[in-house]
Amino acid sequence: MGDDDHHWVASWSAAPVGAGDALPPVTIRQVVRTSLGGAAVRVRLSNLFGSQPLTIGPVRLARHADGVAIQADSDGSVTFAGLPQVTLPPGGSVLSDAVDLPVTALEMLAISLYLPQGAAAPTVHQVGNQTVYLARGDLTSRSRFEPEGEPDDTRYLLTDLEVAAPAGARAFVVLGDSITDGVGSSENANARWPDRLAQRLQRDPALASIAVVNAGIAGNRILNDGVAPYRGPSSLSRLQRDVLDKPGVRWMLLLQGGNDISASDRLEAPDQKVSATQIIEGMQQIITRARARGIKVWGATLLPRGGTTFPAPPSAEAIAKREAVNAWIRESGAFDVVVDFDRVMRDPAQPDRLLPAYDSGDHLHPNDAGYQAMADAIDLVRLAEGNGPSGTMAR
C-alpha cells in the first residue's frame, strides 16, 4: 500500500455507550458491513467504560460466510504494535496494525476476539441489530463454532473499522439517536437508514468513494448524559471521539433532539428539563466545532412522535418544542444542508404521527420501508457538490 495513493477512512462504527455485564474468558465473533472498501483494514477496540485493565487477544479478521461461519481462506491475525495481544487501561482504546486484506464496499467481515481473563465491565454498544456469537475458550481461528447462550446483538469492545482507501475517499458521519441506530429495523439485514444510504452511494460511480458511518446511540441526547432509558454520553461530550476524530470525515449529519424533549417530560430533576432554545444552542455548538475541523454540517428535522407511549406520550409542551426546533432547523440557515425527515415521514392526514406504512409499530421508530424512505430523502446532488478534490477534509 503506497501512502501517497491511499489514506485511512472510517468505514464502519458502533459508538461506545456504557459498561455491559461481566464476561468470562470467551471468544466473541462480531459481523460488520463495510460502507467503503480499501486495500487494507484496521480496527479499534475500546475499554472506555472498563473498570480495570482489559487484556484482549488473539484477534482475527476474515470475510463472513453465514451465521457464525467465516471464509477460512481469508482469515488472518490482527496485531497491535506487532503483538497478538494488547492490554487496555480503563478508559483506553487501541487501533490495530493494518491487516492486508483488500475489501470491497458493502462487504461483510467477521472480527473474532478472545478475552483470556474475561471482562468485568466490557464496553458495549447495546443496539447492534446484528447477531454476535460467544463461546468459552479461544476459538478465534475456528471457521465456525457453537455459540453459547441466548442470541445477543450487543457490540462488544469493537468500535471502529477503517479502510485504506484511494486518496479521494471521504466519510459522511451521522450523529443521532435510536432512529439512526436502527431501532425497529430488521435484525441482520443492514436496514438502518445510514446502511441504505451507503447502498445508494455505491450505485452511483460519482459517489461510490464516500463512506457512511453510523454514530447513533439509542436513547441519546445532545445536552445530557444518559439517565435510563436515555443512554450514553451526550452528543456534546462524545462529538470529538465519535465524529471529529474519525479519519477522512468531510460531512456530518445531525439528527437529534427528540430525546432531549421527551426526557423533559419524563424526568423530574431540573437539570434534565431543557427548552427548545437550549437544544438549539447545543446544535449550534456542534455546528461550530465541526466547521472548525472543515466538516460540512447537515441538519435533519425531528420525526413526529404522536401516538407513542415510550418513554412517555408527548405532552403539548413537548410537541411545541419539537415544532420550534424543526422551524429553526428549516429556517435559520445554520446548516449547510437541511434534510426534512419530518415532512418525508409524517402522515399527511395526521402530521403529528408517522405514516403508517413507515411505522415499526411503536409510532416512534420507522420500519425497514421508513428507513429506506429516509435514505432516499438524502439529496445526492448536494452531496456531490462537496465531493470534489478541492474540498477540505477533517483529519
Which three cell numbers, joined as nine digits, stand for 99? 491487516
- Mean pLDDT over all residues of the chain? 95
pLDDT of the residue at 5: 76
pLDDT of the residue at 3: 52
pLDDT digits (tens, 9 = 90+) for 54-85: 999 999 999 999 999 999 999 999 999 999 99
Q: How many other β-carbons are positioned within 10 Å of the β-carbon of residue 313?
A: 14
Name the residue type at position 335: F
Which three cell numbers, joined as nine digits, stand for 52? 480495570
Which 3 state secondary structure label does DSSP give 20? coil
Which three cell numbers, joined as nine digits, stand for 106? 458493502
CA–CA distance from 3 to each of 10, 94, 168, 170, 320 (Å)?
Answer: 16, 21, 13, 16, 52
Which three cell numbers, joined as nine digits, stand for 152? 445477543
Residues above pLDDT 90, as percent of the chain: 92
- Under the banding of pLDDT at 50, 70 and 90, the label for residue 388 is low
| CA proximity to 158, closest of 56, 87, 274 | 56
393 pLDDT more than 60: no
pLDDT of the residue at 353: 97
Locate the domains of the chain by residue range: 14-160, 168-385
Q: Which long-range contacts (CB under 8 A, 24 or more apart) does 376-381 make?
A: 376/196, 376/200, 377/339, 377/340, 377/341, 377/344, 378/197, 378/200, 378/339, 379/337, 379/339, 380/200, 380/201, 380/204, 380/207
pLDDT of the residue at 6: 87
Query: How many residues are given for the chain?
Result: 395
Name the residue type at position 377: A
pLDDT digits (tens, 9 = 90+) for 77-111: 999 999 999 999 999 999 999 999 999 999 999 99
pLDDT of the residue at 392: 35
CA–CA distance from 286 to each of 48, 120, 251, 280, 320 (Å)?
Answer: 22, 34, 13, 10, 23
Mean pLDDT, range 165-171, rounded to an integer? 96
pLDDT of the residue at 354: 98
User: Which strands form 170-176's sheet, in the order they lie side by side?
Assistant: 210-216, 170-176, 249-255, 296-300, 337-339
pLDDT digits (tens, 9 = 90+) for 231-253: 999 999 999 999 999 999 999 99
Q: Which of 36-50, 156-170, 299-313 has the lowest mean pLDDT?
A: 299-313
pLDDT digits (tens, 9 = 90+) for 171-212: 999 999 999 999 999 999 999 999 999 999 999 999 999 999
229 pLDDT more than 90: no
1 pLDDT more than 50: no
299 pLDDT more than 80: yes
pLDDT of the residue at 4: 59
CA distance 27 to 356: 42
CATH of domain 168-385: 3.40.50.1110
pLDDT of the residue at 150: 85
pLDDT digits (tens, 9 = 90+) for 313-367: 899 999 999 999 999 999 999 999 999 999 999 999 999 999 999 999 999 999 9
Decide which of 312 and 166 is more confident: 166
